[in-house]
Amino acid sequence: MGIIFNYLCAYMSGKYIYIVLAAFLIVIQSNAQVRPGGLPSGRTMGGNTGSNTGAANQSTEESEEQAKKPSIPSVIKVWELTDQGARMNPSELDTTLSFFHVYHPFEQRTISNIFTGNNGGAYQTNDFLKRKFNSDFYFARSFDAYWLTPSQIQYFNTTTPYTVLDYTQSENRSSKNETRFNVIHSQNVNQKLNFEFIYNQTRSQGQYPKQENKFHNIGIVTSYNSNAFVSHSNIIFNRLQGQENGGIAAVSENNKTEDYTVKMDDAVNKIQNNNFYTSNEYRLGKTVEADSAEYIVDAFIPRVGFIHELEYSGNKRKFTKDNAQNFFENAFIDTISTNDSLKYTRLTNIFQIKIYEAPDRKYTFGKRVYIGNDQLWYRGMNVSREFEVTMNDWLWLRILPAVWGSYLKKQSNSFVGGGIFRNEGKFWQWEADGRIYLTGYRAGQTELNGFINKPLRIGKDTTSLRIEGSLKSLVPEYFDQYYYSNHFQWQNNFDNINEMTIRASIHSQEFRTTVGAGYSLLGNYIYNNEKAMPTQGSELLILSAYLNKDFDSKHWLIRTQFLAQKGSNENYIHLPAVAGYISMNYRTVISKVLYTQLGIDTRYNTSFYADAYEPGTSRFYLQNKQKIGNYPFIDFHVNLKLKRTRVFFKLMNAASGLAGENFNAAPDYPYYQRTYRIGVAWSFYD
């Protein structure tokens, strides 16, 4: 099946993919709706009598029978898996009209980011405490928001098929084109078994030369839920390919973006991931019998769960460049051209026992304990540590890849962990868990996490206080220690990173306000220095505070988000002192059916020496030459909703040329000049 998907994605043009998928989903919606009795709608047992009169009578009888049958209400349950597959965390569908126009994946996560200027390009959030990644592949982290991973999968249970088609188009179709097409389809085979199909594709040429990006995700998901057995599985394929232009070297005299001069015109970055995940749980418990007098329905109460989680993740990165001596300072392996490639594969098994909270008992809490193992394989143009190769011994670095080709390094980590939790309590919810690595590369690594959430009733307001923290001693990433390529090579012996983070927030439901603060202390902090090489510093302290406030009335929705943060040592990290996002929206209903929203979004952060982007490693690094920021990124939008169809029009960077020319999204990478996007999404769930 993976071969078929790769073939389709590699060789079918975008428009044919859209047509095939749309036709496939329309057929499913038209014919595959299962009605009570287990038969598709509009069909009966038995065949046609063969005469026109018989056919007419049968058709009339079928119509009358269908008219008597009640329609099936659409009930959609959505959840995500957390805690190594031990917890099904309720989730929500995104069917709202507000902020439908915010479609860049990284902008949906944080309000301030560094960005290489074209959808699908590398990014880094400026909110330090949100620099967390779903992928554990070192070279995919600058593209993490575009990735689909098991932790992001939404699982469904539906009474009727549920489908969403989401399409976005730029103003130009022949040049500077951007097209985005996302599909999700979920359908239950019976009450317990659900299948889901996910397809996301984006292709963007960009406004500036040699910055075309394209990425797509394919996911096949299944879930099965019964009293005694619960199963979740998915197969995911991620592909990303982008031209790397190294940034803008010179602006054109006519100010046409396509005539700008770039630093590279022959470099391509490809990253791919194949992932298989399955979590299966066998549960023991008791069944509460129904009692109409006491309004008790038949229910199963789980007591103990035995869980096995397995994940296979295969990752590959390839960086090619025709002229190896252009742009980069060094060419260690090949002075003519660059053809860097590496692979990273992980196989994880976790066995877990979970003692459930007892809703029919007071003063109880849940417990879980697990044991796990990682099998890791690294393959690339590397040399073994056994040769004691130093950074100045370039003879080995040149000879070994030519003689042996790629190098294979295998690791194995064993770990144990567990936790206690209270997630069902009304008085408060809390959790504490930890993990320690016993053997392998990460031997000695420890991770402790916990939170307390306390609902507070203040008048008519439901307020909640949340405090969370973590204490970790982390073994440095393998690729921070060892990496060998044509343009970058290092061999480090870093100490463990010590990290303590505390965060607290207060949320008011009535006033739609959240106030929070964070504190992070890091010892032996690792960062990329001004030569884009990993370097270990000493102690770093990060302080941050934020305020999120929504003003919501009949016709107005105003969303404000502010972030302030400070790092203790600018030799290790640069952050904007203040970042903000304000969205002002006027809402109305036209002709009682067309929901309309007119708005303006503004994103801003103070001027700072933002990290620069290194195409050779797909990583951001420290620089002290160019400041960006102090520029308002202003977007106008119109959002429309008619029944289950949503449409948006978005004018991006409307102030370009009016509020100055300092609209760089990253050093040497300008943001879009004034342009627009049109998007439409159709939802089907009956």
Give the residue extent of every domain in the chain. 2-34+72-684
Give the pLDDT score at 457.
81
Could you give the CA distance from residue 603 to residue 665 in angstroms, rounded to a whole number? 12
Could you give the CA distance from residue 92 to residue 154 in angstroms, rounded to a whole number? 9
Q: Is 660 left (phi over 0), alpha (psi -120 to 50) or beta?
A: left
Residue 199: which residues within 8 A CB-CB, separation 6 or more? 21, 181, 182, 183, 184, 216, 217, 218, 219
Give the pLDDT score at 221.
97
* Nearest one of 441, 439, 437 to 409, comparing CA atoms: 441
For residue range 291-341, what is the model confidence (pLDDT) as tens digits?
555 556 678 889 999 999 999 999 999 999 999 988 999 999 999 999 999
Give the pLDDT score at 295.
57
Give the pLDDT score at 513.
95
CA of 305: how far to CAs of 229, 278, 283, in Å? 9, 16, 4
Could you give the CA distance from residue 519 to residue 539 in angstroms, rounded to a whole number? 13
Residue 13: which residues within 8 A CB-CB, separation 6 or more? none
Give the pLDDT score at 597.
96
Where is 11: in which H helix or E strand? Answer: helix 2-11
* Nearest one of 273, 198, 199 to 240, comparing CA atoms: 273
Give the pLDDT score at 416.
98
Give the pLDDT score at 657.
79
Burial of 484 (0-12, 13-18, 19+ CB in 10 A): buried
Could you give the CA distance from residue 453 to residue 442 in angstroms, rounded to a whole number? 32
Give the pLDDT score at 659.
72
Residues of the chain predicted below pLDDT 50: 1-62, 382-405
User: Which amino acid is residue 354, in one-letter code?
Assistant: K
Most distant CA pair in the chain, distance: 93
Residue whose entry in the numeric block shows the structure tokens 């007892």:
358
User: How many CA atoms does the CB half-sphere of 517 hold within 13 Å?
Assistant: 3
Q: Which residues pair with 521 in a beta bridge?
A: 500, 541
User: Which amino acid is residue 62, in one-letter code?
Assistant: E
Give the pLDDT score at 501.
97
Tokens of 101: 């126009």
Where is 489: in which H helix or E strand? Answer: strand 489-491
Could you give the CA distance from residue 148 to residue 380 in angstroms, rounded to a whole number? 24
Phi and psi torsions of 599, nearest 5°: -155, 170
Could you give the CA distance from residue 358 to residue 337 in angstroms, rounded to a whole number? 64
Could you give the CA distance from residue 432 to residue 421 in angstroms, rounded to a whole number? 6
Give the pLDDT score at 290.
64
CB 167 within 8 A of CB 181: yes
* Nearest one of 586, 589, 580 to 599, comparing CA atoms: 586
Q: Which CATH superfamily is domain 2-34+72-684 in?
A: TonB-dependent receptor, beta-barrel domain (2.40.170.20)
Phi and psi torsions of 160, nearest 5°: -135, 155
Q: Distance between the two ends of the chain, CA-based, in angstroms? A: 29
Give the pLDDT score at 58.
44
Please, what sign has the CA dihedral across residues 647, 652, 655, 656? negative
Give the pLDDT score at 32.
41
Q: Considering the entire predicted model, what is its pTM?
A: 0.86
